[in-house]
Structure 1
Amino acid sequence: MLEEYRDEAAFKAHLAQPHTQEFNAALEEAATGGGSTVTDLATFADAKPAAPGVRGVDHAGLTVPDIDAATRFFSEAFGAVTLYDVLPEDGPDMEGEGPQAELGLSPGTRITHMRLVRIGNGPCLELFRIEGGEQSEPARLQDLGLTHLGLYVDDVEAACAAFAAAGGTLLKGPHPLANNEDNDGNAGIYGRAPWGTLIELLTYPGGIDLPEGAPAPRWTPNP
């Protein structure tokens, strides 16, 4: 039996449960040696692959042409919720030498609206609407830098239908995942949000085959 517990206290709490005690008592007659033994295979779940004091990704920033429209898309496609406006649309724009130096904006660029939204059990999205400065087209997978958002879904077909109904454009797929991720039931598909941002929908109920000696498990959003 392979079992995983959050910590030693959780394991002891499991041992104290009546059904566990009944099971272990039955092993005295059913099992060779009169009981079970526990072998600690690894403290894999406790792995924290980061420098001391670093917790993990808090949010991703995404510049869109219309924050209200982007919020509707994320809500209709994925059930996203709005937490708050970092910079209200009717408030003073964020511009000038201060933001230019702090945020790396080019002269004349101003931030007119900022909003924080959340999708399920994962990092938040910080949406920006920015005017007055030169802007490039949304990134393709081949471009340098951050290229896409990847969302874990339980049902790829249902997620595709919601994505398209919300105004997104799906690319070819769903397709099998690659190499270590290519197990039964695992699949993914890319699409573009109405303003062009690349978004991947993926699921891997068949699990991921981690290479021997991997320092930590892959992070996956909880159900």
Structure 2
Amino acid sequence: MTTPATTPAPAPARPGVPGVRAVHHVAFTVPDLDEAVAFFTGVLGAETAYRTGPVADPDPHGDWMRRQLGVHPRSTAHIAMLRLGPTLNLELFEYSGPDRRRRMPGNSDWGGHHLALWTDDFDASVRRLTAVPGVRMLGEPQQVNEGPIRGTRWVYLATPWGLHLELVHAPDGLPYEQHTAVRLFRPAAPPEEAPA
């Protein structure tokens, strides 16, 4: 007598969008693309992958820019894609168009945002950035003294055109790690330099 073969039960589906595994890039619209590229490459050490533009609808009465990018149909864009550190592709847009707002949203506004940068040397990073003309620190550096990220140091800064940056450094073994297997990304420690 043979026993009928059984088909293993399929693994439960993971929530999320099929095939999506990672963030590809983060994008910001800036008032002056040349200024922003110079800041990210010259101050923060990013590398330019490419620049392109103008991106615009070739039909003077077309609606491609509104349909594809959600902007005024007569808008044009110039774009730069940068690589910042080991994991971040950073896309910068400079738009021209008749209805664009010329003011950065506040952090509490819908669409408010900031770019947080990990630093291995918090104090040296603060000194370097605050020495750059036009960069200003918002308040003073802070250390979290309780809660899930106890020991983390942070400070907000504003670029010359108003984009908010945050510098972050956290010790190994944050308290939240005792309660979950989820780990936030942090870059590997840099290799030790050989003595001179």
With normalisation by structure 1, the TM-score equals 0.68
Structure whose residues are more often helix by fraction? 1
| 1:107–1:52 distance in 2 versus 1, CA, 3 Å | closer
Q: Match of 2:5?
A: none
Match of 1:116 among 81, 86, 90: 81
* Aligned residue identity for 1:202: V
Q: Specify the SS of the correspondent of 1:62.
A: strand
1:133-182 per-residue CA deviation (whole Å, 9 max, x = no partner) reads 32152122212234111000011121112222333111122101362111
- Tell me which residue corresponds to 1:32: none
Q: Which residue of 2 aligns with 1:170?
A: 137
- CA RMSD after TM alignment: 2.2
Say whether the 8 Å CA contact 2:56–2:74 is kept in structure 1: no
2:65–2:73 contact (8 Å) kept in structure 1: no
Q: Displacement, 1:215? A: 4.8
Identify the residue that residue 214 of structure 1 maps to in structure 2. Answer: 180
Decide which structure has greater strand share: 2
Taking structure 1 as reference, are residues 50 and 174 closer, same or farther at Cα in structure 2, changes over 3 Å only? farther
- Taking the aligned partners of 2:159 and 2:32, their CA distance within structure 1 comes to 12
Q: Is the CA contact (8 Å cut-off) linking 2:65 and 2:75 kept in structure 1?
A: no
**Residue 181 of structure 1: SS of its match in structure 2?**
coil
Q: 1:194 to 1:97 in 2, by over 3 A?
A: same
Q: Secondary structure at the match of 2:115?
A: strand
Residues paired across the two proteins, number = 169
Over 3 Å counting, the alpha-carbon distance change for 1:121 and 1:94 in structure 2 is same
Q: Deviations over 1:202-222 (max 9, x none)?
A: 101244222555252112233
> So what's the TM-score if we normalise by structure 2?
0.76
Once the two structures are superposed, the pairs formed by residues 118-157 of structure 1 within 5 Å of their partners are 118-132=83-97, 133-157=99-123
Task: Sort the Cα spacing of 1:49 and 1:155 in 2 relative to 1 into closer, same or farther, 3 A.
Answer: farther
Query: In structure 2, what is the Cα distance between the partners aligned to 1:100 and 1:193?
Result: 29
Q: Which amino acid aligns with 1:123?
A: L
Q: Which one of 203, 208, 211 corresponds to residue 169 of structure 2?
A: 203
The answer to whether 1:158 aligns with 2:124 is yes
Give CA-to-partner distance per residue, 1:115-145, whole Å, 9 cap, x none: 0011102221100000123215212221223
Shift of residue 200, structure 1, vs aligned partner: 0.4
